[in-house]
Structure 1
Amino acid sequence: MSAQTIVVKIGTSSLTRTNGQIAIATIASLVETLTQLRSQGHRVVLVSSGAVGVGCARLNLTERPRKMALKQAVAAVGQGRLMRIYDDMFSSLQQAIAQVLLTRRELMERTSYVNASNTFRELLDLGVIPIVNENDTVAVEELRFGDNDTLSALVASLVEADWLFLLTDVDRLYSADPRTDTNATPISLVSQTEFQQLQVEAGSSGSQWGTGGMATKLAAARIATSTGVRTVITQGQQPQNMLEILEGKPLGTQFEPQPKTENARKRWIAYGLIPMGKLYLDRGAVKAISSRGKSLLPAGIIKVEGDFAAADAVQLCDLDGKEVARGLVNYSRTEIDLIKGQHSANISSILGYNGADTVVHRNNLAVEE
């Protein structure tokens, strides 16, 4: 196999035991597998949960904190301990690593997004394995990724990965939770068309220490595959399975990717930004931006929701509320309320100044596939 860029996400449920103690054997196997992938010429990024869980164990806490300030403090304790374990194990195999802590803000600002992309590129060119986690110590609630499944999908898009492995506490995706439903059937491959109709019973987090669950993994797979990244859900306690999957063995559940796009800016608009509002469009506007590659004009806007400023990201929805695109607006919520349903020629007389003819220019539009 030619050299691939591979992002691996491992969850807290795989890194810790039920009592919150670190699963050293699993981490050792993961470290050995990732080092082997590097020796084969692959570029590897690890997105690792576990800081809060490790911090809880270190501080003898019996459950995951709910208060944000306490959780951030516990994460600060756990992150250092977790990185020391990784550093000791990778160093024994002469593999260099780097710590990369991200918040959503780094991916929301275009300059920071580009800087993060360049940093990852340099680290991977140097043969380093970046170990990524959300910067829990400083992240504020409204700018959180929410879970590391989402973070790993956004990182996979950022580094233009070929593969995203989501390592969890089950061996693959099932039609229902196999731990509680004996009729649950395994799912080996999900095509892009099948993904749209995929119906599974996706529960909440798999352990008291984690924030993810199968629902977040499906959401991550949707993000990653839409940017051309093949995504796999597989057993976290057997990370060596990744080597066999890359050789073509049908382990885990694979999600087929859409064709890769070269437009990094559109990926950033679609997945790096948090939408601050919604614009509801008539059928003509939906068709114009979805099928004909046109910009959004004020005449096609029926309704506006949210509180946003010019240059913020918004969702563009049809009249049923289904998102058809995402884009950066040229006007604020108040201004769009005034010009919605109007011809572009009337914008200057309504607003009292000469502005853009478009509400969202096509270069700032990312259309749902």
Structure 2
Amino acid sequence: MSADRFAPANCPRLVVKIGSALLVDPDGKVRRQWLEGVVADLAARHAAGQKIAVVSSGAIALGARRLGLPKGGRASLEDAQAAAATGQIALSHCWAELLHDRGLTAAQMLVTLDDLEDRRRYLNAASTLDRLLSLGVVPVINENDSVATEEIRFGDNDRLAARIGQAAEAQGVILLSDIDGLYTANPHRDPAAKLVPEVRRIDARIRAMADGGSASGMGSGGMVSKLEAARIAQRSGAHLAIISGKRDHPLAAFDADGVGTVFVGEKQGTARKAWLAGRLTVRGRIAVDAGAATALGQGRSLLAAGAVSVDGRFARGDVVDIVGPDGHAIARGLIEYDAEDAARIVGRRSDALEVILGYAPRSALVHRDHMVLL
């Protein structure tokens, strides 16, 4: 059964994500009785030896009620930041209290997009997570919405959960949702839609099934963000499940009946390449011709001769996407040149680069050791 992949024996470390629509009722209060059931499920897994991290939404919704802000605290960026700062205290207190009642210690981690996109800060966060989990603590993680802006934020906790899964070296990620998985069509509009129990590869057919709307209207992540989270998890070798959080004891229910959609993790490459593949921001794009796209698929480096154009402002060592002739990103890697020099040598053969640049060229625009295929 698909749920077996997330059992403590097969999944020593698990990340569980809970959305606002499940944790907070329409009046802006914590659904405490339901959350007590979730914590009971977490405690049972912890007793069985599983180390668990929780990614919890809800701060903005809780803070908006306390501050009397309109539109659930999302009328403006300033309202959202104020609501988050106020609600996070209440959210953390609730988690700490309920986990303590089950004999568990809670820790709080607030992160921003930059904390996980910058390699050094990512490694610092990973080290903290590792130590907390090894001590048997349950980290409760949320985006630091009090300082995040539209330009530098995850925007939803689905992708944050997948990135935390990477940092924690988790074998599984479970997204508790207001829908019980991925359907062949939007089940709220099409009664013939069928639940997809397992996905091994996210291709165009699977992406076409996604719908941008959340059934509740309270959360910020729809099925599109969940597919992106699944892609990040799969590339790091972790399984990801989308299951219904509308049931009491949702994790125990999933254990019992396996209802949900499981995205099966791929064979894991290096941790550094998984981090590259999971990044949500890049500094630029390098467009390549068909020949270069084929060569990249065979595991080769990107040479200047195969590039056709450069877009973006980046320096050597920044992350860029490599885009094929159809306009879709086919790889991601660390660029060996700054944007100005890269633009000067696109389409040029290696033996001409020294004359153009005025210095000895590097072996590639993007070396295969610093590149991951998407």
Name 1:98's counterpart in structure 2. 107
Task: Answer whether contact 1:55 1:77 (CA < 8 A) is retained.
Answer: yes
1:128-148 superposed Cα distances (whole Å, 9 cap, x missing partner): 111111111122322211210
1:89-134 CA distance string (max 9 Å, x none)? 1111110111011111112222111111111111110001111111
Match of 2:292 in 1: 285
Deviation at 1:318, TM superposition (A): 1.0
Could you tell me which residue of structure 1 aligns to residue 69 of structure 2? Answer: 61
Match of 2:307 among 301, 318, 321: 301
Taking the aligned partners of 2:353 and 2:149, their CA distance within structure 1 comes to 37
- Letter matched to residue 345 of structure 2: I
Question: Are the counterparts in 2 of residues 63 and 208 from structure 1 also a CA contact under 8 Å?
Answer: no
Report the alpha carbon displacement of residue 239 of structure 1 after superposing the two structures with TM.
6.0
How much does 1:160 deviate?
2.1
Q: 1:179 to 1:62 in 2, by over 3 A?
A: farther
Return the alpha-carbon distance in structure 2 between the equivalents of residues 250 and 108 of structure 1: 33
Post-superposition offset of 1:69: 2.1
Partner residue in 1 for 2:14: 6
Given residue 22 of structure 2, which amino acid in structure 1 is its aligned partner?
Answer: S
Cα displacement (A) at 1:236: 1.2
Contact 2:235–2:278 at 8 Å: present in 1 too? no
Q: Distance in 1 between matches of 2:306 and 2:169?
A: 34
1:104-183 alignment to 2 at 5 Å? 104-183=113-192
Give me the whole-angstrom Cα distance separating, in 2, the residues matched to 1:61 and 1:30.
29
User: 1:327 is matched with which residue: 329, 333, 336?
Assistant: 333
Question: 1-side partners of 2:317 and 2:200: how far apart?
Answer: 35
Conservation of the 8 A alpha-carbon contact between 1:107 and 1:273: no
- Checking the alignment, whether the CA contact within 8 Å between 1:153 and 1:220 is kept in structure 2 is yes
User: Retained in 1: the 8 A contact 2:287–2:308?
Assistant: yes
Partner Cα distance (2:194, 2:184) in 1:
5
Matches within 5 A, 1:243-254: 243=252, 245-246=254-255, 249-254=257-262
1:39 aligns with 2:59: no
SS in 2 for 1:345: helix
Distance of 2:55 and 2:314 partners within structure 1: 32
Q: CA deviation at 1:18?
A: 2.4
Does the 8 Å CA contact 2:15/2:173 hold for their aligned counterparts?
yes
Give the superposition deviation at 1:10: 0.6
Could you report, residue by residue, the CA deviation over 1:43-96 in whole angstroms, capped at 9, with x for unpaired residues? 101001111011112122341323222211110001111001111111111101
Deviation at 1:244, TM superposition (A): 5.0
Distance 2:133 2:341 in 1: 45
1:231 — aligned with what? Answer: 240
Tell me, which stretches of 5 or more residues in structure 1 are unaligned?
Answer: none
Q: 265, 269, 274: which is aligned to 1:267?
A: 274
Deviates more, 1:99-108 or 1:125-134: 99-108
Paired letter, 1:15? L
Inter-CA distance 110–134: structure 2 relative to 1 (3 Å threshold) = same
Using the TM superposition, give the Cα deviation of residue 13 of structure 1 relative to its aligned residue in structure 2, in angstroms. Answer: 0.7
Q: Which runs of 5+ in 2 are unaligned?
A: 1-7
Q: Equivalents in 2 of 1:186, 1:297: separation in Å? A: 44
SS at match of 1:160: coil
Runs (4+) of structure 1 exceeding 4 A deviation are: none
Percent of aligned pairs sharing the same letter: 36
Aligned-pair distance for 1:203? 3.1
* CA 1:234–1:273: 2 relative to 1, 3 Å: closer
Aligned residues: 364
1:49 maps to which of 47, 54, 57 = 57
Could you state the TM-score of these two structures normalised by the residue count of structure 1?
Answer: 0.93
Kindly provide the CA deviation profile for residues 149-189 of structure 1, in whole angstroms up to 9, marking residues without a partner as x: 11011111222221111101122322233334323222222
Q: TM-score, normalised by structure 2?
A: 0.92
Deviations 1:178-215 (A, max 9, x none): 334323222222232x7552232513233343211122
Secondary structure at 1:141's aligned position in 2? coil
Q: Retained in 2: the 8 A contact 1:310–1:329? A: yes
Distance change >3 Å, CA 239–CA 216, structure 1 → 2: farther
CA distance in structure 2 between the aligned counterparts of 1:229 and 1:243, rounded to whole angstroms: 20
Question: Residue 322 of structure 2 aligns to a residue in which SS?
Answer: strand
Contact 1:13 1:206 in 2 (8 A): no
CA–CA distance in structure 1, aligned partners of residues 341 and 69 of structure 2: 51
Give the secondary structure class of the aligned counterpart of 1:98. Answer: strand
Question: Which SS does the other structure have where 2:71 is aligned?
Answer: coil
Q: Which secondary structure state, in structure 1, belongs to the residue aligned with residue 151 of structure 2?
A: helix
Residues 38 and 251 of structure 2 are in contact (CA less than 8 Å); yes or no, is this contact kept in structure 1? Answer: no
| Residues 207-222 of structure 1 mapped to structure 2, 5 A cutoff | 207-222=216-231
